[in-house]
Amino acid sequence: MILNNGNLELNPFELTIFEQSYSPMVITTCLLEGDHPKIVYVNDAFTKMTGYGKNEILGKTPRILQGEKTDKEVLKRLKECLKNEEHFEGKTINYTKNGQEYWVEWNISPVYDEKKKLIAFVSIQKDITRAQKLLDHIKLFKKAIDQNHDSIALFNADGEYIHANTAYLRRCGYDISQLVGQNPKILNSGHHSDDFYLDLWKKLLNKKSIEALFCNKNSEGEIYYEKQTVTPIVKDEIIIGFVSIGKNYDKEEKNKQQLNRDLYLDALTKLFNRKMLDLKLKAAVDRYEAAGENFSMMFVDLDNFKMVNDTLGHKEGDKVLSLIAKFLKQHIRKSDDIFRYGGDEFVILLYCIKEENAKKITQKLEELFRGSDIKKQYSIGLSIGVSQYEGESIYDFFKQTDKKMYAKKRENKLDLYGDDLSII
């Protein structure tokens, strides 16, 4: 390559290489001041890219390709590199002859003669419009995900975090740097059973989407609820990742919990009510029939409670019922359930227990109550009937336990009043 008085001379070999190059190529003078640099050579690929014929572009400066959206900062950096005779790489928007925008990527190098004198700059160019549009679409998609109101997270094939949007990070309280490489166990609240997660992963690994309500724990240890759809990302029949989209379910879950409280909790004592007793009793019977899991029922009735209402009033009577509920909660196993059956009657379901142990719990409860402040202050007692379930109908089981409670009540009154049953 020789440059004589602004005219470029290429030997046949160089000319063949440049003309047959798939990449658009431009050669300019090395002068940068004034109306320079000048374009002294373009190949056919360049004319196809820009729409200019060779006779229309030679002798012009590259500014002929620039316009409103050409990045001025990129041009400034380009000029600095050329002044320093340095290699330059960059991209910006240029314009074709008919004014159409296109994205161009430059790779510009200084050219020296045999005396190491700078004689030109050669630019290998590439039309990256399609790639840039795709990149812009990806950026737009990422921005849409990041600004989405729903919580969105992306996981790799091992179930580890890759990305999470702002809504997801706000909900869980972690920074993205704390999540990447972790798996969602970091949010485990202990609310869900192992079977819940096993069933979830079984479906996902079979390339099925799942929808579930998750009870999670954020970085501050606070519980929050999300209804999430988790979908496997599949390529060539292989799972390469997962995407989770979650909706805030705090309000709905709060309403649901309130509804459950209204439906299944006694307003005064905050114990389960008769509706919940029906459900829990049926579930206990189902477990007995399916797995032989034993359970017992205690029927508890207050002695002399009517006297409290008659002498101290119903407000004080309500206070006594609340104190009884608190007493039962304190002295019954956490695994068992307590119900207010109605009035001054309570039912307790004792799970995974044999009859002799259920009777011991009953005796202990009676003993503790005899020494309680409630008995001393209000002169009331407990009559408790207890039965082991043995496969009979729920009606007969309940009737049998109720009968035992009344037998106990009669016994308690005989102890108190002797054989004068006229006062019973």
Averaged pLDDT, groups of 10, the chain, 424 residues long: 58 71 91 85 94 94 94 94 93 96 95 89 94 89 90 95 95 95 93 89 95 93 93 95 93 74 85 93 94 96 93 94 96 94 95 93 94 93 95 94 93 63 42
Residue type, 299: F
Q: Which residues of 52-78 are buried (b: 16+ CB within 10 A; e: fewer)?
A: beeeebeeeebeebbeeebeeeeeeeb
Quote the CA–CA distance of 142 and 166 in Å, as a whole number.
11
Tokens of 225: 């609820």
Give percent helix, percent strand, percent coil of the chain, each to the nearest 5: 45, 30, 25
Q: Regarding the domain delimited by 2-130, which CATH topology (the fold level of the hierarchy) does it fall under?
A: Beta-Lactamase (3.30.450)
Three-class SS state of 322: helix
Q: How much is the pLDDT for 47? A: 95
267-423 CATH choice from 2.60.40.10, 3.30.70.270, 3.40.50.80, 2.102.10.10: 3.30.70.270
Nearest partner of 242 among 210, 265, 285, judged by Cα: 210
Task: Give 87's DSSP letter.
Answer: -
Q: How much is the pLDDT for 414? A: 67
Residue-range domain boundaries for the chain = 2-130, 148-253, 267-423
The contacts of residue 82 (CB under 8 Å, 6+ apart) are: 32, 37, 88, 108, 110, 121
Three-class SS state of 123: strand
So what CATH class is 148-253?
A: alpha beta
Contact between 350 and 297 (Cβ < 8 Å): yes
Quote the CA–CA distance of 107 and 184 in Å, as a whole number.
45
- Please, which contacts does 327-332 make with residues 24 or more away whose CB atoms are closer than 8 Å? 327/368, 327/369, 327/372, 327/374, 328/271, 328/300, 328/365, 329/271, 331/364, 331/365, 331/368, 332/361, 332/365
Task: Give 146's DSSP letter.
Answer: H
Contact between 96 and 71 (Cβ < 8 Å): no
Quote the CA–CA distance of 66 and 88 in Å, as a whole number.
18
Q: How much is the pLDDT for 21? A: 84
Is it true that 2-130 and 267-423 share their CATH fold?
no
213 Cα distance to chain centroid: 10
Q: Do the bridges between strand 295-303 and strand 101-112 make them parallel or antiparallel, or are there none, so unpaired?
A: unpaired
Q: How much is the pLDDT for 2? A: 58
Tokens of 150: 């729903």
Quote the CA–CA distance of 323 and 346 in Å, as a whole number.
13
Q: Is the peptide bond before 232 cis (omega within 30 degrees of 0)?
A: no
Q: How much is the pLDDT for 181? A: 92
* C-alpha to C-alpha distances, 56 to 43, 59, 103, 106, nearest whole angstrom: 13, 8, 21, 21
148 Cα distance to chain centroid: 14
Quote the CA–CA distance of 357 and 296 in Å, as a whole number.
10
Three-class SS state of 5: coil
